[in-house]
Amino acid sequence: MTAMAVPQPLLSVRDLKVVFDGRHGPLTALDGVSLDIAPGEILGVVGESGAGKSLTGTAVIGLLDPPGRVAGGSIHLNGRRIDNLPAEAMRLVRGKEIGAIFQDPLTSLHPLLRVGDQIVETILAHLPVSRGEARARALQLLKEVGIPAAEMRIDHYPHQFSGGMRQRVVIALALCAEPKLIIADEPTTALDVSIQAQIMSLLKRLCREHGTAIMLVTHDMGVIAETSDRVAVMYAGRVVEVGPVKEVTRRPSHPYTAGLMASIPSVHERHRHLNQIDGAMPRLNAIPKGCAFNPRCGSCRDRCRDERPSLGAGLHIAACHFPLRELVHG
């Protein structure tokens, strides 16, 4: 009996290192980041501000601005390495194979162009269709993402839409060239809570229907728990825990993940005291030796201060010398 073949990940990031060149030498912002996303999977990437989660998405999509640069590691999409592509080749990848949804939809929409024209031009740039076919596809996408009266709204300008509706337009724009992967960076942060839930539900449905993989970047562990299949927890430019979202949220192994979970309000425990993680994320020029979390960790020992823990391999893994829970290896 032959062993089942493990499907190739759609996105594979290996030992990614991103530095920012400064007057006093390079500062390391991402230090050995590795993660995979399978076709049709939603991977949540979570952490505090400064953890490196948005920077990881920016590196994947090829939008690092100088003085930031990829200084090590690799990024593969569908088995093809993309981190070393020329700018023009990466621009084609970014439209056709990778879509993007950002926190502020106005950064993705041209204020002086009708939303339908923006979607149509993107389709024409990446798919072999006529203008009429592109407009029909744009209209269908606007309906799919829940734009009411889409036949009329397709000719409106971005300022004529509410924040939630603009974000729906951006989702349609991200999907229009049929990408295999979408980088969604804090896609609901600027929206009302009720609209947030609608947008996340929409992303989950579109992921299922189109088979699109999503890297969902957010600081909100609650959003991750409700939306993602797996979660990667980041701290100080490193991945500290990865696993199935139910396993990680219920049985966190890294003390930092446990701290994030303890800070989420519970509807079932109305008067429960919310914990907070003491201290703050270290600056890039002051990341401590060993485990970067050691100054804030209540379980820190001498080994944690001297030796950097490795992430290892398995279904549920944590970069911790003394994990809180038994890990599930595969």
Whether the CA torsion 256, 258, 263, 265 is positive or negative: it is positive
Indicate if the pLDDT at residue 209 is higher than 60.
yes
* Predicted pLDDT at 138: 97
Contact between 161 and 169 under an 8 Å Cβ cutoff? The reply is: yes
pLDDT tens sequence across 46-89: 999 999 999 999 999 999 999 999 999 999 999 999 999 999 99
Distance (Å, rounded) from C-alpha 305 to C-alpha 31? 17
SS3 139: helix
Dihedral, CA atoms, 265, 250, 230, 100, nearest 10 degrees?
A: 10
**124 burial via Cβ count (<10 Å: 0-12, 13-18, 19+):** middle
pLDDT tens sequence across 227-258: 999 999 999 999 999 999 999 999 999 999 99
SS3 22: strand
DSSP code per residue over 167-230 = HHHHHHHHHTT--SEEEEESTTTTS-HHHHHHHHHHHHHHHHHH--EEEEEES-HHHHHHH-SE
Give the phi and the psi of residue 6 in degrees, each rounded to 5: -80, 125
Mean pLDDT of 146-157: 97
* Predicted pLDDT at 159: 95
More confidently predicted of 294 and 278: 294
